[in-house]
Amino acid sequence: MSPSSITCSRFAIIAAAAVLLQSLGLSLFIFGFFPTKPALSGVSGPESFRAPWPNGVGNDSAAALPPEELKRLYQELSEISPPFDRLILMVVDGLPAEFVLGRDDKPPREAFVEAMPYTQSLLANGFAVGYHAKAAPPTVTMPCLKAMVSGAIGGFLDVALNFNTQALQDDNIIGQFFRTGRKMVMHGDDTWLKLFPGSFIRHDGVSSFFVKDTVQVDQNVSRHLDEELCRDDWDLLILHYLGLDHVGHLGGRNSFLMGPKLKEMDEVIEMIHQSSLRDKKNHQTGTLLVIVSDHGMTESGNHGGSSFEETDSLAVFVDLGDHTLDHASATDNSANQIDIAATVALLFNVPIPKNNIGVVIPHALNFMTDAEKMRALELNSWQLLRLLQAQLSGLPCEHVLVEENTGDTKSVVTECGGNIEQVFCCLYQNAAVLHRSWKFKRIFVSNIEDYKSAAAAYYVFLRTASQWLARRMTDKPVGLLVVGISAMILSCLIFLGLVFHLNEALYVREDHQISSLKKYAFSWHLDEIFLMGATLIHVISMGSSSMVEEEQYIWYFVSSTFYLLLIRKTAQTILADRTQSSVGLSLSLNGKISYPIISLFSVLVSGRILRAWHQGGINWVNLPDISKWLKLAGHEYVKRLWLLACLSVIILSIYVLIFLWTRRKMVLVVGFSFFIPGLMVLKYIISHEDDTSGSFTYSYGSTVSAQKIYRVLGALTVVAVVAVPWLIHIWTSKACSNGDICLSTSGSHDILKLPPLMEMRDSFYVIGWAYIFCWCLLQLLLQQPTNSLPVLLLLVQIYASMLHSFSALPAHKHWIEVAALYQLGMAGHFALGNSNSLATIDVAGAFIGASDFSMLSSGVLMFIITYASPLLFLLSMPMWISVKDFNCLVTLRNANLGDLLKMMLGFPCVIPLCLNSVTLTAYTIILLLMRNHLFIWSVFSPKYLYVAAATVCVYLGVFIIASTGTYIYLVTFIGKDKIRSFNGGMR
């Protein structure tokens, strides 16, 4: 096959079409697979206080009633005397219940107990009862707040919407309070203002994403507290404190700021409690204080996943009146976050939200009489029955209920079996029968055993229904999923075909003879076989939840073993005396092993250190590693390492520019220009000591410095890309007109002596170097200080790989070298502390240099931090292009500039697309097969979000490579005569 069988432009069109096809398939699959939770339209009204049967629904026009009349109607229909008139909802963002209640029957750590003495006294004396209120993943603020106020579990993709909160349309207790005329006030996280616009008579919102602020963000809430507690014009006061969550993001659970922040929250609780006790003495209305958290946090202070530490949210009900809670009876202190909505609704005589799947918390009913408790359970059961009717058509419960009961329940309470509809109806029937029996008997005598039996039966039904509804998702459109997967499979096959074409075009001569190159093109070597086998093993391993959680070990093994094979192959080539150099770099001084072997060993040693830097993943994250040792050593050692890494990056990069590029005059200009941002980063590290200690208090100076660094790095990169090809073009033209040697490197064929090819190589080299250097400086600024040395090690791996590619060894095919760089990028992704859990996303770094919250800028920085390593290795591809030669094209009679450009850009663009496409397509199929797996939303779905984000990362990197190469080509060959002359020279 001649390489011209697919022209460069046609090749680009096919590749672009495959990318668009893959993007379409991915979009269709995500749209079809990830659920939108089952929801009933509208809001609950008076009908929620009646049985959900046709003869139990009245003909109400409640929507036309004024708020006060609607409030009285609800109180009359509920048959429950409201124990409280006002509610204070205090949200302590990120507070794990373990800090307050302990874990596994063990008390909290002594430091936490000492930090919250007043709260602990309330719990110990029975004036409060606390719960481990399990939150549903994803454990981020917005979906957790939705769960608390609506009683419904949010859709999984709410994690993406968390950064762009929209008004909540589902029925919720805030809306119910608003419709009944209750006045509401909110101070704290402005997520509440976005979810419920226009609902509050007063508010003071602060951004929840500016995590560098641990002080002012809470002072903005507390400064209103004295005034609000003295007012009587509100019925609901929401206080959302963000400081503790920010402390966690910056320093983890063990941050030295955690104790003082807990003490601050304890003082707020004491202030509210004491104020409400004074109000009660003055015969004012009763106020209920509910202390909740939206989620917990990992040891590193992050959240978003499904581990116990992240889902362990808090719910504490503090009785501020005469209704002392029976704390001793609270043997079971576990609940669900979704239970809060139903509990609050029943305590304040508003309808339970229509899509609530939560169950009223048992001990919160201690404020009520036995009859009111049974009524509350009945109302909760009716509300869940309505949801079941919507999900299970033809639910026959209304046809089997016994309307009257004589008191003999033994003949009607039955064992429940059969299909799911029959089980639900049977469980509800048993509870309803026992309820009627208890009501009938209590007319004559109070029987506590009958009450307990009826309540227990209700809870069996409620919890069974709640668990089933929590797992229930909308039916997935199979046709849409099949179309999406088919599109991805087709695009994957296209990418594989393009790789085959590139390999054949590079090594097969036009005369179709069985040449040595042709044999080499179609022969399989050990490194290639290993790469194919490793890819297959990686794909198969993704079907195991444990392997998904610990995926980093696969990449560590594959990358290290692959480079060991490259060392073996290189050594065999050197010993066989088949080495050659196409770019004039001597392999050894006396024929001994030199640059190729040393460079590969450098990659392996760096990779081993990176492997030990973070105990990534999920299950073994608590094991010792280098980063933990550094944190224990103290921030002074971390800072010194940070400075050392930054200096090493600058020195190594300047050395590489001088050592491998021979245009000495331009080296001085380029090196000096890029030395400036390096000094700025050094100054930033030296000047802002707090940034290594974990305090990260808001500093105007550090913010301005970071913003200046962003601007300088961005400007220099753009200038380098735009100006370098022109400068080299002008320099080469002058040199050649003066009769100078028009070579930046020596070569074995006349094609290398053509000035346009020299210009392209030098332009690729300098621009690739600029990409790498600026990206490393940016990562030294954004990454956690403990990740500074890993950034340096990743840079060492890149330069060592380039040095190996620079040597003229015919032992490795081009696609193998690109694949090796891709593997290093993925291994480095996990070496920087990332995992397949959303909890490892570095939120704190996304606000370095931010003076105010911007969803776009913070999202971009978060993406840059998370995919630092894969993007770094993709950005190194222009340098790889500059150090490779394509001499075999010279032998082709019909080869032209288009073929050369296709070879230069084809491998670094198509190989990453192909490898990512294989992973994406295979994991999409696995996700579909695992759709009913127990860990589908906690393990497999977060991994798929990472796969989708990695796809975006590859698209971005390939776009930069292709755009850079196209621009260099346009600048280098600016005249048609020059193109014709070059093509003639190739022939």
Exposure string for 747-764, b = 16+ CB within 10 A, e = fewer: beeebbebbbbbbbbbbb
pLDDT of residue 417: 75
The stretch 310-330 carries a mean pLDDT of: 65
pLDDT of residue 161: 56
Contact 89, 239 (CB under 8 A): yes
Which residue, chain included where needed, has tokens 């495959």?
A: 18
Per-residue pLDDT band at 585 (split at 50, 70, 90): very low
The stretch 899-923 carries a mean pLDDT of: 90
pLDDT > 90? residue 894: no
pLDDT of residue 853: 66
pLDDT of residue 979: 52
Per-residue pLDDT band at 321 (split at 50, 70, 90): very low
398 CA to centre of own chain: 46
pLDDT of residue 524: 65
Tens digits of residue pLDDT in 675-715: 899 999 999 988 875 444 444 444 677 888 888 999 999 99
pLDDT > 80? residue 481: yes
pLDDT of residue 285: 66
Give the integer Cα–Cα distance in Å for 343 and 84: 13
Residue 187 is inside which H or E element, if any? strand 184-189
The residue among 738, 913, 918, 798 whose CA lies nearest residue 12 is 913
Domain over 69-369 is classified CATH 2.40.50.140: no
pLDDT of residue 451: 84
Per-residue pLDDT band at 655 (split at 50, 70, 90): confident
Per-residue pLDDT band at 555 (split at 50, 70, 90): very high
Count other Cβ atoms within 10 Å, centred on residue 673: 14
The stretch 4-22 carries a mean pLDDT of: 87
Taking the model in full, what pTM does it have? 0.75
Mean pLDDT is lowest, of 312-316, 491-495, 514-518, 643-647, for: 514-518
Higher pLDDT residue, 840 or 315? 315
The stretch 763-769 carries a mean pLDDT of: 90
Give the integer Cα–Cα distance in Å for 161 and 164: 5
Contact 267, 115 (CB under 8 A): no
**Residue 335 bridge partners (DSSP):** 133
For the record, the structure tokens of 710 come out as 């962003």
| Average pLDDT over all residues of the chain | 81
Give the integer Cα–Cα distance in Å for 488 and 928: 14
Give the integer Cα–Cα distance in Å for 880 and 764: 8
Give the integer Cα–Cα distance in Å for 138 and 161: 11
Per-residue pLDDT band at 748 (split at 50, 70, 90): very low
Tens digits of residue pLDDT in 384-431: 998 888 888 767 665 554 444 444 444 466 778 778 888 888 888 888
The residue among 847, 838, 819 whose CA lies nearest residue 949 is 838
Tens digits of residue pLDDT in 421-473: 888 888 888 888 888 888 877 766 667 888 888 889 999 999 999 988 887 75
pLDDT of residue 827: 93
The stretch 37-55 carries a mean pLDDT of: 78
Mean pLDDT is lowest, of 508-522, 558-572, 839-853, 953-967, for: 508-522
Tens digits of residue pLDDT in 343-355: 999 999 999 999 8
Contact 872, 796 (CB under 8 A): no
Higher pLDDT residue, 813 or 576? 813
pLDDT of residue 507: 61
Contact 294, 148 (CB under 8 A): yes
What percentage of the chain has pLDDT greater than the value 90? 34
Give the integer Cα–Cα distance in Å for 10 and 361: 65
The stretch 807-836 carries a mean pLDDT of: 83
Mean pLDDT is lowest, of 15-24, 580-589, 908-917, for: 580-589
Three-class DSSP category at 712: helix
Which residue, chain included where needed, has tokens 């005329």?
A: 181
Three-class DSSP category at 907: helix
Tens digits of residue pLDDT in 228-270: 998 889 999 999 999 998 888 888 888 888 999 999 999 999 9
Per-residue pLDDT band at 620 (split at 50, 70, 90): confident
Per-residue pLDDT band at 619 (split at 50, 70, 90): confident
Three-class DSSP category at 184: strand
pLDDT of residue 761: 83
The residue among 470, 472, 433, 468 whose CA lies nearest residue 453 is 433
pLDDT of residue 403: 45
Dump strand ranges (E) for 671-715.
Answer: none
pLDDT > 60? residue 327: no
DSSP codes of every residue in 62-114: GGGS-HHHHHHHHHHHHT---S-SEEEEEEETT--THHHH-BTTBPPPHHHHH
Give the integer Cα–Cα distance in Å for 439 and 461: 19
Higher pLDDT residue, 664 or 783? 783
Highest mean pLDDT among 4-18, 189-203, 694-708: 189-203
What are the residue ranges of CATH 3.40.720.10 in the chain? 69-369
Which residue, chain included where needed, has tokens 């600048």?
A: 971
Residue 151 region, left (φ>0) first, then alpha (ψ -120 to 50), else beta? Answer: left
Mean pLDDT is lowest, of 248-257, 907-916, 931-940, for: 931-940
Tens digits of residue pLDDT in 96-142: 999 999 988 888 989 999 999 999 999 988 888 999 999 987 788 88
pLDDT > 70? residue 741: no
pLDDT of residue 156: 65
Highest mean pLDDT among 111-120, 302-311, 811-820: 111-120
The stretch 148-156 carries a mean pLDDT of: 82
Exposure string for 608-643, b = 16+ CB within 10 A, e = fewer: eebbebbbbbbeebeeebbbbebbeeebeebbebbb
For the record, the structure tokens of 224 come out as 């209103």
Contact 889, 986 (CB under 8 A): yes
Give the integer Cα–Cα distance in Å for 725 and 900: 18
Higher pLDDT residue, 850 or 224? 224
pLDDT > 90? residue 775: yes
31 CA to centre of own chain: 18
pLDDT of residue 91: 95
pLDDT of residue 101: 92
Higher pLDDT residue, 185 or 567? 185
pLDDT of residue 738: 53
